[in-house]
Chain A
């Protein structure tokens, strides 16, 4: 007998009284073939398991009257939960799908609608209490800016008495502001009072455009 035939006969012999099939030819094959013998053992084990597990476990069964009360209470509680009017009558899974679809649609619409806002295009930094010698030494300030790579920034000195007010104009980013403030604090012997003034322009752009700018960086022709 071939293994395939033996396995078919084993499948047919399910739910017999004993795990071992009463088929001499098959038994002979099983005694010679360890693989089929293992299959027969597992199949017999499966049958025994089914027989044992088929016994009803009737312990602590809740009476139907009690169950009716708990089920109807739960149903009433579910009905009281707030459900959006548009989704009444839909199954719960579909209702969730509708909710997600609506949220995505709203987000998509919001992302393409342009809206006005103040866009920061640069910073001016005003320092009060700058040492007069330092503030009036154009070379020192310009060298410092050049050393920091801020070649486009401009310098303006106002109201010199014992100390001066120094304005660094046209800084492009908050990083540049941080660099200048740190450098001036190192160069000036006394504490400085600093005011950072953001330069803004009125702009109108969609969220999508702004996200693109954040991710890919500002385009040279972008306002």
Chain B
């Protein structure tokens, strides 16, 4: 049992920082990302004895992180946060995505158009520089299928950004007092 634990932590060590960063980027918030990382680590620690091929530790661990994230986003309606209305969101600071904070803010808006699985896929590909082959292995899909999912995800995000942009413009032209 102790050997299994030691092996788990030794396999985790090279992935530790990258995995923690992945969780932070996926959630778009440092504290919540760390919480997600902790939950995923607990799940991985419990499930590690069932992993037969230790060479596949990396995709196995990332799969656990993605599943943990997905189960957190699938909370029942009474536990979900009430989303901000688009009017409130449009009045938040950071309309120009030039710095990291603003980019994360806009990214979290665009991510709302995607499922939890697709958010993880885009994060791994665009922010963590995973290759299509690695993603295909993680998601157990063909490379073509992964490319298609990425393309569709980008299109959904782009459309979401466009709709925000249209709302913002129409609000400015109607001269709402909050927008000024």
Contacts and interface: CB of A to CB of B under 8 A. Distances in A.
Interface of A: 11, 14, 38-39, 41-43, 45-46, 48-62, 64, 67-68, 70-72, 74-75, 78
Contacts of B136: none
Interface of B: 5, 9, 12-13, 16-17, 20-21, 24-25, 28, 30, 34, 38, 41-42, 45-46, 97-100, 102-104, 106-107, 110, 126-129, 151, 154, 157-159, 161-162, 165
A48 B99 CA distance: 9
Contact of B104 (A51, A53, A74): A53
A203 to B, nearest CB: 41
A65 to B, nearest CB: 9
Nearest to B162: A42
Given A46-B154, A52-B100, A58-B17, 18 more contacts: A11-B151, A38-B162, A43-B154, A46-B157, A52-B98, A53-B28, A54-B129, A59-B30, A61-B20, A64-B13, A64-B16, A70-B38, A71-B41, A71-B42, A71-B45, A72-B45, A74-B42, A75-B42
The 8 A-B pairs with the shortest beta carbon distances in the complex, nearest first, are A52-B103, A50-B126, A54-B127, A49-B103, A42-B158, A53-B103, A42-B161, A71-B41
Contacts of A46: 110, 154, 157-158, 161
B26 to A, nearest CB: 11
A11 B152 CA distance: 11
A137 B21 CA distance: 94
Given A61-B17, A71-B38, A74-B42, A49 B162 contact: no
Contacts of A62: 20, 34
B127 A53 contact: yes
